[in-house]
């Protein structure tokens, strides 16, 4: 039996899944970035240097 031609719905589903995946990756990167910034601000060494300046 040969390979069957993909139905049009599979193409639409793939593009939708890629869009959702990209949005999820962006959200994860955003949360990670905000966490890194927050941790740096709470670091006592960095906070002490900022107070002295």
Per-residue pLDDT 10s for the chain (53 aa) are 556 777 888 888 989 999 999 999 999 999 999 998 887 777 677 666 666 65
Asked if 41 and 47 count as a contact pair (C-beta separation under 8 A), the reply is yes
- Rounded CA-CA distance 23/29 in Å is 10
Model pLDDT, residue 10:
83
Model pLDDT, residue 52:
64
- Rounded CA-CA distance 35/27 in Å is 12
């Amino acid at each position: 039996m040969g390979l069957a031609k993909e139905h049009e719905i599979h193409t639409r589903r793939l593009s939708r899944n890629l869009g959702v995946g990209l949005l999820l990756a962006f959200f994860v990167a955003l949360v990670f970035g905000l966490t890194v910034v927050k941790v740096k601000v709470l670091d006592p060494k960095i906070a002490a240097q900022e107070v002295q300046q």
